[in-house]
Amino acid sequence: MISLPLSDIASVLSGTLHLSGDDSPQTRVAGTVDTDSRNIGPGDVFVAKPGDATDGHLFVPAAAEAGAALAIVERTVDAPITQIVVADAVTALADLAREVVARVRRGGDLRVVGITGSNGKTTTKNLLARILEDEGPTVAPRASFNNSVGAPLTMLRVADETRFLVSEFGADGSGQIARLAGLVTPDVGVVLMVGMAHAGGFGGVEATLRAKTELVEAVRPGGVAVLNADDARVATMAPVAQARGVRVRWFGRGPAAEVRAEDVEVDASGTSCVVVAGDERVPMRLRVLGEHHVMNALAAITAATELGVSIADAVARLETVELAERWRMQPLGSDSVRIINDAYNASPDSMAAALRTLAQITGPDQRKVAVLGAMSELGEYAGEEHDRVGLQAVRLRIERIVVVGAEARRLYLAAVGEGSWDGEAVFFTDADAAYDYLIGELRPGDRVLVKSSNSAGLRHLGDRLGEFFS
């Protein structure tokens, strides 16, 4: 965080300042801001956020012992540390983030990019950050810091010298993206796709569309909306942008895209294509597994060109990326038995993309194995969407379909109903039982996809299989 006097912080947060030790209202604080006391070090700021499992106020003494300079609390705590008492710690976190970004913008050359979409946010964020970091100091979220706590924590890492802030905005209900994007009013807003992810929370795909449109509505007039030309729902955001004086740039694989990919070819080591923009044709070789990541790369390239990066430079930097993020199409194991651990998140769209990738990278003498768990947050659509995945797995001729967890049982039943009834599809209630089966079942030449939502916990099963077969 930039250096601020305690009095300024208290004013921004509409809080009451309780001084400790030698501190005065003019004492300046410039440390890292965090809600986890385990991450706190000397000079940092601890935000005591009440939670479902525990209360951050219990850890204020630990933060003080670790050397924190300030605690933002909802009630005073008996600990030797200066405290600012606020009405709501999460709201205070957002207010502080808004102020810090605004001050850096006024005093420097900070440009802000916001990214949303039903799938691909974290990968696109990482790809864009890789492009921009060679241009100047860049701040981007760790992992998937994209909610009401994670997004402001990322914003608060901005310093006076920061040139680029890449913010990822997730949501499971209306108004959330508007609140988060409203903290920074992005110069560039990127919308990747509108699909079924979190449809249960939103109340359907049309409600998801309205929520994702909130990012376009938050882009500052004179800014740019980078939109997916291949997604009909995303395309409806163009008039919204133009009505606000926001220019539209299109990416995609179809002819309507201003930045598009042609001659796409996929194999076990990555994806090749040609990036086309006007008269430019730049070959690109992505080492990140999955044809669907071409769209994420195109989005990142398009956004980067709006920030002054040439397509050739953007492509060259993307070609250095080996892994988008842990547990996202992460190759593990060995050349003999390759494990692809993609079990951090799952939606109907990302499940379909991962299964297609498995089919594309498996040779004719190799065996396709899909280890699949539940897709969460689909609400009333959960049953039919798990059915679709089971049907697709069979139709892609996946030789072994291993379904794990009671919430994914309909996926297994759909696969059996489609014809995988002779041992091709198996069901296990827990990951340990699936692991025991797989270490005895897998053989040289197998290509194994592990895919589920985070809540299903299969990412750890993927790690175990990767270690066993390494």
Closest CA relative to residue 208, chosen from 292, 145, 117: 117
Q: Which of 353, 341, 344 is nearest to 447 (CA)?
A: 341
- In sequence order, the 6+-apart residues with CB closer than 8 A to the CB of 433 are none
- Report whether 462 belongs to an annotated binding site: no
Residues 184 and 139 in one domain: yes
Would 281 be classed as within a structural domain? yes
Nearest to 225 by CA among 191, 192, 193, 194: 191
Q: Answer yes or no: do 302 and 334 share one domain.
A: no
Q: Report the alpha-carbon distance of residue 190 to residue 194 in Å, rounded.
A: 12
State the CATH number of the domain containing residue 115. Answer: 3.40.1190.10
Considering the domain architecture, whether residues 312 and 359 belong to the same structural domain is answered as no
Question: Are residues 269 and 409 both part of a single domain?
Answer: no
Tell whether 176 and 144 lie within a shared domain. yes
Do 132 and 59 belong together in one domain?
no
Which amino acid makes up residue 118?
Answer: S
User: For 137-170, what is the HEC assignment?
Assistant: CEECCCCCCCCCCHHHHHHCCCCCCCCEEEEECC
Whether residues 186 and 288 share a domain: the answer is yes
| pLDDT for the residue numbered 201 | 59
CB atoms inside a 10 Å sphere around CB 280? 12
Residue 171, pLDDT score: 82
185 is in an annotated binding site: no
Q: Is residue 325 part of a domain?
A: no
Q: In whole angstroms, give the CA distance from residue 269 to residue 266.
A: 8
Specify the pLDDT at position 331.
95
Residue 119 assigned ligand-binding role: yes
Question: Please, is 467 exposed, middle or buried when counting C-beta atoms within 10 Å of its C-beta (0-12, 13-18, 19+)?
Answer: exposed
49 assigned to some structural domain: yes
pLDDT of the residue at 195: 83
pLDDT at 443: 97
Please tell me the predicted confidence (pLDDT) of residue 52.
79
Residues 98 and 79 in one domain: no
In a domain, 440, yes or no: yes
**Parallel/antiparallel/unpaired status of strands 330-333 and 338-342:** antiparallel
200 is in an annotated binding site: no
Which domain range does residue 201 map to?
92-318
pLDDT of residue 235: 97
The domain boundary residue, chosen from 87, 103, 138: 87
Query: What values do phi and psi take at 293, rounded to 5?
Result: -75, -15
Residues 174 and 70 in one domain: no
Q: Which residue has the tokens 């379904």?
A: 403
Residues 41 and 106 reside in one and the same domain: no
- Please indicate, yes or no, whether residues 432 and 409 belong to a single structural domain of this protein: yes
Query: Whose structure tokens read 């909130």?
Result: 214
Q: Which of 87, 113, 134 is the last residue of a domain?
A: 87
pLDDT value at residue 200: 58
Q: Which H or E element spans position 361? A: helix 348-361
Average pLDDT per 10 consecutive residues for the chain, totaling 470 residues: 97 98 97 96 97 91 98 97 98 98 94 95 96 98 88 96 96 89 98 77 81 97 98 97 97 96 93 96 95 96 98 98 88 96 92 95 96 92 94 95 97 89 88 97 97 93 97
- Residue 168, C-beta contacts closer than 8 angstroms, at least 6 positions apart: 114, 115, 116, 121, 122, 125, 140, 141, 144, 145, 146, 151, 154
118 is in an annotated binding site: yes
Q: Establish if 254 belongs to a structural domain.
A: yes
Alpha carbon distance 224, 189 (integer Å):
6
243: in domain: yes
The torsion angle over the Cα atoms of residues 210, 212, 218 and 222, rounded to 10 degrees, is -100
CATH number of the domain enclosing 352: 3.90.190.20
Whether residues 161 and 176 share a domain: the answer is yes
Number of structural domains found in the chain: 3
Residue among 22, 20, 24 nearest 7 (CA): 24
In b/e form, how buried is each residue of 405-439, taking b as 16+ CB within 10 angstroms?
A: bebbebbbbbbbebebeeebbbbbeebeebbebbe
Domain-terminating residue out of 46, 71, 87: 87
